[in-house]
Amino acid sequence: MKRIGFTIGFIFFCSRLLYSQQEPVKFGGNAQGSTYHITYFDEQNRNFQPEIEKILVDFDKSVSTYIPSSIISRINSNQKNVIVDKYFIACFNKAKEVWKNTDGAFDPTVNPLTNAWGWGPGKKQKIEKSVIDSILPFVGFQLIELQGNKVVKKDPRVSLDFNAFAQGYSVDVVSEFLNSKKISSYIVEIGGEVYAKGKKPNGDNWTVGIEKPIDNKDSQNPLKAVVKLENLALATSGNYRRFIIEDGIKYAHHIDPKTGYPAKNNLLSASLFSKECISADANATGVLVMGLEKAKKFLELHQELQAYLIYSDDKGNYQVYETPGIQSIVSDAEE
């Protein structure tokens, strides 16, 4: 899955409660090439870590391109009679929706390009125009369909990569599990994507942070903003975690499906808010590819999404664009 560090710095203010003295259940571990952290309040003090880790393992068996035997890997290698599961179907249908809404800025068929640039499980190629031109004819979500529980390709070279938003969906899957256990106060974070439900029993909000988009592959950055979440998902895409330097030029990992090259614009970080994390995650990728001006127009049309965008001005300074719907829950971390 996405091999990134945290795009969102977590701030857990888990103080001892004044009335019930209830302590949260907290655990975490490794998942999807990254880490996960879960905190919730449960009067029965149940620990769901074994069940959740099994969910995450089963999830990877469906949509991880890093597992050769996964459903998505078998489809990419054109194995016959591959039957897809509920995780794959949900990812495919959401991908098709976001692909249409973003006019192709988000497109999971960029997988061959992702591999060519060295950001997937495939071997990195020497990037030349002829290489990109040879791949582009089989990049495009119109070239693949889901018919029942099987995938049909118009070109066998088409392949899928759900890594740009699968972590967001896994947050939703784990959240659904906690809902099924009647947990009404929790926060789920996987690979930096997050969903928070309710408030803490003492009335406090769940609080997370959005990092400054400083080039940093290995550790957490200082925070740019602090966010209070309640029944809301937040996902961040940025060009400061996964990038390569080639011939002195920085190439970020967000590929423009129309050109085959990493997107070039002044948008550094896109944090999107939604009722479901899969939507926030997928659209954050699309917005980052669009760039600031196209993103503003897109967000005006899709007010079910809210955004906090960090971009660079002509002098190289950080600037922020935020939609009206989140201004009451986001504050500057430096205040």
Domain membership flag for residue 148: yes
CA-CA distance, 238 to 83, in Å (whole number)? 34
- Pick the range with the lowest mean pLDDT from 37-41, 98-102, 203-207, 237-241: 237-241
Residue 243 has pLDDT above 80, yes or no: no
CA-CA distance, 252 to 294, in Å (whole number)? 19
Q: Which domain holds residue 96?
A: 56-153
User: What are 309's strand-pairing partners?
Assistant: 270, 321
How many structural domains compose the chain? 1
Domain membership flag for residue 194: no
Residue 1 has pLDDT above 70, yes or no: no
Domain membership flag for residue 140: yes
What CATH number has the domain bearing residue 77? 1.10.3980.10
Domain membership flag for residue 118: yes
With left for phi above 0 and alpha for psi between -120 and 50, is residue 209 left, alpha or beta? beta
pLDDT digits (tens, 9 = 90+) for 121-151: 666 667 788 888 999 999 999 999 999 999 9
pLDDT digits (tens, 9 = 90+) for 56-102: 999 999 999 989 999 999 999 999 999 999 999 999 999 999 999 99
Domain membership flag for residue 65: yes
What is the bridge-based pairing of β-strands 330-332 and 223-229? Answer: antiparallel
Mean residue pLDDT across the chain: 87
pLDDT digits (tens, 9 = 90+) for 41-61: 999 999 999 999 999 999 999
For 98-115, give one letter per residue: b (16+ CB within 10 A) or e.
Answer: bbebbebbbbbbbbbbbb
Domain membership flag for residue 243: no
Structure tokens given for 170: 């896994």
Domain membership flag for residue 274: no
Q: What is the pLDDT of residue 16?
A: 39
Return the sign of the alpha-carbon dihedral for residues 233, 182, 173, 301. negative
HSE toward the beta carbon, residue 266, CA cutoff 13 A: 13
Domain membership flag for residue 131: yes
